[in-house]
Amino acid sequence: MQRVHAIFLILIITLIFWRFLAAPVFAQEVVIDTTVLLKARVIAVSESPQKALPGVSISSETQMISVELLEGERKGTTVSIFNDYLPFSEGDLLYVLHTTNPIDGIDTYAVSEPYRLPALLLFFVLFILVVFAVGGKQGIRGLAALAGGLALIGSFLLPGIIAGYSPVLVSVIVASLISILGSYVTHGFNKTTSSAVLGMVATILFTGALAFLAVHLTRLTGLYSEDAVYLNFDTKGTIDLQGLLLGSIIIGLLGGLYDAAIGQAAAVDELRSVAPHLPRTVIYRRAVRIGREHIGALVNTLAIAYVGAALPLILLFYNSASGSTLSHLNQEVFATEIIRTLVGSIGLVLAVPLTTVIAVWMLFPKKEEASAEVLKQEEKLLSRIGHTHSHT
């Protein structure tokens, strides 16, 4: 019995002093490797035979390349790197990833990316020249609006989300500011532009509420891609990924929304100039008739754009033998894109009547209606035009 008591006492003492006994062993400071990207130039290439990737029946071309570092503390140093990313030739520029272990001081180098900036700059200049040559002053205004929108995203949207503010709130505010800035810079300060701006802001608010409902009903987490997972780890879970998904739906809506709202406001303005005698209800119906021709193209453009962006993923699941089509569609990676497409398309469709109502209210003063006979003749003429158009 005394032996049992002695053992029990030893166990209690061990538990009490465990953290002190274990501290020197387990409480070691975690030291993170330091990594930096450095620009380099290939000075020599040694071809190697193709190497089979482990676990799959695919082989990859490999090289041993010697590169000269063009920046950093070791600028001018030559290092050898094993390369199985993509083939390089002598003289090629690239970025290498320099990793240093702070404990033992060992340096390792790996190929990161080829140097693409000159090609990117070439196409950027080409884009500006084409816009200027075809669009003239209006094209330059469009570029200024684009620059302003990107500045708002870089100055408010990204820092706001990283700082912990609601991604939905920040996205709605920035999307509204982009709509206001882009519209007035491109089309000037007038009632037509103002009606389009109000239509876009109303559509953004409605689409945000609809996206919130859709994301919660489908129980999307926002962890639908590797980027989202890495962001979650990098920010230690401080960002609301569901809210970020909602914000991405709202921001992604802007391109098509701008086109739809401006087009409807301009259509109402044109009807006002050629038929100022018509009442608001008739102008609304005729402007919406014009908008219907635009809706199909907008919805098709948005849906096909999302399919194009997700084409590798679609092919991966299309070629997969496991699971049915419905089970694939139920996966979050697909459900997210479906919700993104459907909610965005609903927003674009509703932008037509919303903007039309606002434009008619702002551009058309209330007045006496035209005679019933005049309205009947004009409706008859419009029906003939529509009938001819549908069979061409």
Tell the burial category of 156 from Cβ atoms under 10 Å away from its Cβ (0-12, 13-18, 19+).
Answer: middle
Could you give the C-alpha distances from 351 to 154, 198, 204, 264, 336, in angstroms and in order?
Answer: 26, 10, 9, 9, 22
What's the CATH code, domain 34-115?
2.40.50
Interval 185-202: pLDDT, tens = 877 888 888 888 899 899
Long-range contacts formed by 298-307: CB under 8 A, 24+ apart: 298/256, 298/259, 298/260, 298/345, 298/348, 298/349, 299/345, 299/348, 299/349, 301/256, 302/256, 302/341, 302/344, 302/345, 302/348, 303/341, 303/345, 306/337, 306/340, 306/341
Interval 119-133: pLDDT, tens = 999 999 999 999 888
CATH number belonging to the domain at 119-385, selected among 1.10.287, 1.20.1640, 2.60.40, 1.10.10: 1.20.1640
pTM of the model: 0.70
Of residues 261 and 255, more confidently modeled? 261
Range with the lowest mean pLDDT among 272-281, 314-323, 333-342? 314-323
Tokens of 192: 């037509």
Over its C-alpha atoms, the chain yields an Rg (Å, rounded) of 31
Q: What residues are paired with 35 via a beta bridge?
A: 99
Closest CA to 143 of 182, 196, 192, 200: 182
Range with the lowest mean pLDDT among 88-97, 99-108, 177-186? 99-108
Residue type, 155: S
- Whether the per-residue pLDDT at 296 is higher than 90: the answer is no
Q: Where in the chain are the domains? A: 34-115, 119-385
304, containing H or E segment: helix 280-309
- Judge whether 34-115 and 119-385 match in fold: no
Could you give the C-alpha distances from 346 to 32, 201, 206, 256, in angstroms and in order?
Answer: 47, 15, 10, 12
- Whether the per-residue pLDDT at 389 is higher than 60: the answer is no
Tokens of 351: 């932008």
Of residues 334 and 32, more confidently modeled? 334
Using the Cα atoms of residue 166, residue 169, residue 172 and residue 173 in order, give the sign of their dihedral.
Answer: negative
pLDDT confidence tier of residue 25, bands split at 50, 70 and 90: very low
pLDDT of residue 41: 93
CA distance 364 to 164: 44
CA distance 373 to 379: 10
- Whether the per-residue pLDDT at 386 is higher than 60: the answer is no
